[in-house]
Amino acid sequence: MNSLARPSVKQLLSRPVLFVSGKGGVGKTSAAQAIARAQARAGKKTLWVGFEDPTRPPGELTRKAKDLYELNCVAELAFEEYVGMKLRVPGLAHLFLRNPLVKFLAKAGPGVHELVLLGKLWYERRNYDCIVADMPSTGFGLAMFQSIENWSRLFKGGPLHKDAAEMLETFADPKECGQLIVALPEEMPLRESLELEEFLLRLFPKNSPGFLVNRLFPKLEAEAAARRISPDPDDWESPVAESIQDFALRRSLLENHNLATWRNAGIEIESLAWQQVRLESELSEFDQVVLALEKQITQRGWA
């Protein structure tokens, strides 16, 4: 069990760099964008970072609001920019990177791809008050952090080693960086979030991650008790709901039952509520959810 006090969501949002992580499909992107919007609305110059989104132009940096920017971070452009900074000769980086051997090393070098992605984010922190990173799903997200540690251990010299070591120092510092693990109130994501915590603590033992449950259904335990529905799903004769009302009551009970996984691990439950979307709205379903989550974050004083 984690011996460090886990930070609250509000504490994490006060840090200059925030990584939003978790299992795929838990709503990391909507939560990360909502956090970034709330930070920008609070007057912080904020950068939301996504990684290698094939639906957007590589390296695209867009200004979404007065203090809100979004970046599609891709390794190839980040590497070229990094080489340009190190060579300090305009135009030389492009010629250097046209060399077939350099191209091969940039793609095949152990951890270079992940290193430059996080390196771009690490470098940009000096240009913004707040950076919110929408991390890839758990496996690849962990590989990104692991690659930095591997590089710092395998290579004992050169600018990449020096920068990797400084990146590790930044990401390990709770004054500089925070890790927010997002999960749905479902058994598998909740359990995997605890495994993610263990891995992050092995890399950053003095920087404990925080937790957030997303899409939490309204609490209806009192109504379920009035209908004499057992709070333990194992006691139900059938998992099939008899009506829409019965479905809502059982879903509320099931989610509360699942959250025992976090409560037993000593995690204080902080949540974002399930959001209803309107099909007739001019906004997409995703944008409706992001705006609703941003409102929740602001109302709770997290940002």
Which residue do the tokens 């099931």 mark? 254
What is the pLDDT averaged over residues 82-91? Answer: 57
pLDDT band at 3 (very low <50, low <70, confident <90, very high): low
Give residue 238's pLDDT. Answer: 86
The pLDDT, as a whole number, for residue 111 is: 65
- Which tokens belong to 46? 């904020």
Segment among 80-89, 123-132, 165-174, 279-288 with least mean pLDDT: 80-89
Q: How confident is the model at residue 133, as a pLDDT? A: 98
Interatomic CA distance for residues 250 and 238, integer angstroms: 11
> What does the alpha-carbon distance between residue 99 and residue 104 come to, in Å, rounded to a whole number?
9
Q: Would you state the pLDDT for residue 186?
A: 97
> Which of 91-105, 183-197, 281-295 comes out lowest in average pLDDT?
91-105
Residue 284 half-sphere exposure toward CB, CA atoms < 13 A: 4
Q: Which two tokens stand for residue 143?
A: 């590989």
Looking at residue 155, its pLDDT comes to 66
pLDDT at 169 over 90: yes
Nearest-angstrom CA–CA distance, 132 and 138: 17
* Distance (Å, whole) CA 213 – CA 163: 34
Nearest-angstrom CA–CA distance, 116 and 190 = 30
Average pLDDT, stretch 44-61?
A: 95
For residue 168, what are its two tokens?
Answer: 């590790």
Q: What is the pLDDT of residues 143-154, one digit of tens each?
A: 888 888 777 776
DSSP 246-268: HHHHHHHHHHHHHTHHHHTTTPP
Strand order in the sheet with 68-73: 61-65, 68-73, 46-51, 130-134, 17-21, 177-183, 210-216, 271-273
pLDDT of residue 97: 45
Residue 300 token pair: 């709770």
Bridge partners, 254 (sequence order): none
pLDDT score of 158 more than 90: no
Fold type of domain 9-217+268-299: Rossmann fold (3.40.50)
The whole-number pLDDT of residue 1 equals 53
Tens of pLDDT, residues 197-239: 999 999 999 999 999 999 999 999 999 999 999 999 999 988 8
Selection from 68, 102, 100, 64 nearest residue 82 by Cα: 102
Question: What's the CA gap between 214 and 26, in Å, rounded?
Answer: 7
Domain positions in the chain:
9-217+268-299
> Count of alpha carbons within 13 Å of 132, Cβ hemisphere only?
28
What distance in Å separates the CA atoms of residue 149 and residue 161, rounded to the nearest whole number? Answer: 10
CA separation, residue 247 to residues 89, 215, 224, 227, 241 (Å): 65, 16, 10, 13, 5
Residue 66: which of 34, 91, 42, 83 has the closest Cα? 42
Query: pLDDT, tens digit, for every residue of 88-125?
Result: 555 544 544 454 544 545 455 556 778 888 989 999 99
Look over the chain and give the mean of its residue pLDDT values, rounded to a whole number: 88
Q: What is the pLDDT of residue 96?
A: 41
